[in-house]
Chain A
Amino acid sequence: MNRRGSFFQPKHLFIALLVICIVLIVFSALSSKVNNAVRSGFNTVLMPMQKGLNRIGSAVSDELSELASLREVQQENEALKEELAFLRQENAKYQLQTAELEKYRELLEMKDQYPDYPTIGAHVIGENPSNWDKTILIDRGSNDGIKENMNVLAQGGLVGVVKSVTANSATVRLIIDQDCQVGAMALLTEEACMVRGDLELFSQGLLMVEKMDKDARIYEDYKIVTSNRSSLYLPGILIGYVRNINVDANSLTKSGELVPVVDFTHLDSVLVITQLKETGN
């Protein structure tokens, strides 16, 4: 195997590569600027390929699920036709009621569910291939005004936060990642708590709510939103609903599970809030 003369040994190359790796680890751990600069270069080259293949990937999975569901769909079609006739009738009735409701809403001056944050839409073009980390890649970057630490929404709830940015893409850390902690509160009572990602709970589609005071007025099915006190997240963004609250072993705090409003297994497009949280630093 040793074809390149006696002065060259695989062992030396191995040690050289190990040293390079360790230097890289140390440097990128110390400064995120180095991290982003190196990344930016690579991503500019690879992004077009990534986009194309992502399209193929979606096409393949669509095709597979289409084939599988064809028969089901035919049966469903019959049932749906009957239902449709019934629903048409109902619809007329509801349209009247909706118009009425609209009037009442104006009267009440109901505010939107969300404060008007400026947002920008983005497509999800990649998921972390590792089975351990929960991050996604989106097709907007610093050219579109995306910055680090911007909040990301989808389906009316919090998805995560922008972790690193390149010219035309950005990596988003999902709130289900093990490393992710969100300062949150119950919408009704404004009692503080922490929402944390947990891979074990996420296998059942859940997150963890913890560090609630033992006497905090947080009960089953309360809405949990991001808190004013969080340093990264803008206040008032819906995260999900709490359940299974139990007092912890230390009998000072209690914790529970959180049912997120976002379906993290089918993220397709997201909204990035282009307003950063003012932290006073």
Chain B
Amino acid sequence: MKRAVYYILLILAAFMLQNNVFQAIRWIDVTPNLLLIITFCYGFIRGPVDGMLIGFFSGLLSDLFFGTTIGFYALVYTIIGFTNGEVSRIFYTDFIDMPIVLCLINDLAYSLYVYVFSFLLKGVTNFVFYLKGVILPEMIYTMLITFIVYKPLRNLNGRLEEREKRSAQKFV
């Protein structure tokens, strides 16, 4: 229960920060993808169920506020959350390098998804421009933010897990 509230607050905070505060301090002309960060981080730390639920609601939130078709972003975030969860089952490490690598792959996959479905299919074929102008800057910015927030996110999760364990013991 506490965990659900924590997730909801986290998603809302990330969403609001992304389209307000970070919009105001746009750097290299893009905004970092905070929703993507919390989706894959918790997918990686907690497993596929948490990852895809966070992803689903994050995506839904973006859809409801700004998207043209509801479900477009929800779909890609859900897939990313689930996939990262599955990756962590196979291979988990506490080092910071892994989330950074995951971040790059995830953001690239996300960007390609958006490019293919809302640009390429409408006949916009100039991929190199979008790669240089949007995709790469977003990847770099998102990676930097991941570097900063990954440890705090993991620590918050650790504290939450401890508390859950304690309350479980009380029942026994």
Which B residues are CB-close (under 8 A) to A149?
none
Q: Which residues on B sit within 8 Å (CB–CB) of A53?
A: 16-17, 20-21
Which B residues touch A10, using CB under 8 A? 47-49, 52, 82, 85
The number of chain B residues touching the other chain, given as a range, is: 35 or more
Does B145 reach chain A (CB closer than 8 Å)? no
Which B residues are CB-close (under 8 A) to A38? 64, 70
CB-based contact A25/B126 at 8 Å: no
CA distance in complex: A163, B65 (Å): 12
With most chain B CB atoms within 10 A of its CB, the pick from A38, A129, A178, A203 is A129
A29 within 8 A of B: yes
Determine if A57 and B20 form an interchain contact, defined as CB atoms under 8 angstroms apart.
Answer: yes
| A39 within 8 A of partner (CB) | yes
A79 to chain B, nearest CB (A): 29
User: When A and B form their complex, which 6 residue pairs have the shortest distance between CB atoms, in order from nearest?
Assistant: A24-B71, A57-B20, A61-B24, A25-B71, A21-B75, A129-B19
Q: Is the CB of B71 within 8 A of A130?
A: no
Count, A-B residue pairs, CB within 8 A: 144
Q: Which residues of B contact A43 (CB under 8 A)?
A: 64-65
**A23 touching B64 in the complex, CB below 8 Å, given contacts A10-B47, A57-B21, A199-B133:** no
**Interchain Cβ contacts under 8 Å between A and B, 28 examples:** A1-B49, A13-B49, A18-B75, A21-B59, A25-B71, A27-B70, A28-B70, A35-B69, A38-B64, A39-B70, A42-B61, A53-B17, A56-B21, A60-B25, A61-B24, A126-B19, A129-B19, A129-B23, A130-B62, A131-B31, A132-B134, A133-B66, A163-B68, A179-B68, A199-B130, A200-B133, A203-B29, A203-B133
Interface of B: prevailing SS:
helix
In the assembled complex, the Cα of A137 lies from the Cα of B16 at a distance in Å of 13
A135–B66 touching, CB < 8 Å: yes
Measured CB to CB, the residues of A under 8 A from B are 1, 10, 13-14, 17-18, 20-25, 27-29, 35, 38-39, 42-43, 46, 49-50, 53-54, 56-58, 60-61, 64, 126-133, 135, 137, 163, 171, 178-179, 199-200, 203
> Within the complex, which residue of B23, B59, B71 is in contact with A23, where a contact is CB–CB below 8 Å?
B71
- Chain A residue numbers with a CB within 8 Å of B124 are 178
Chain A's interface: helix, strand, loop or mixed, by majority?
Answer: helix
- Kindly list chain A residues whose C-beta atoms are within 8 Å of the C-beta of B25: 60-61, 64
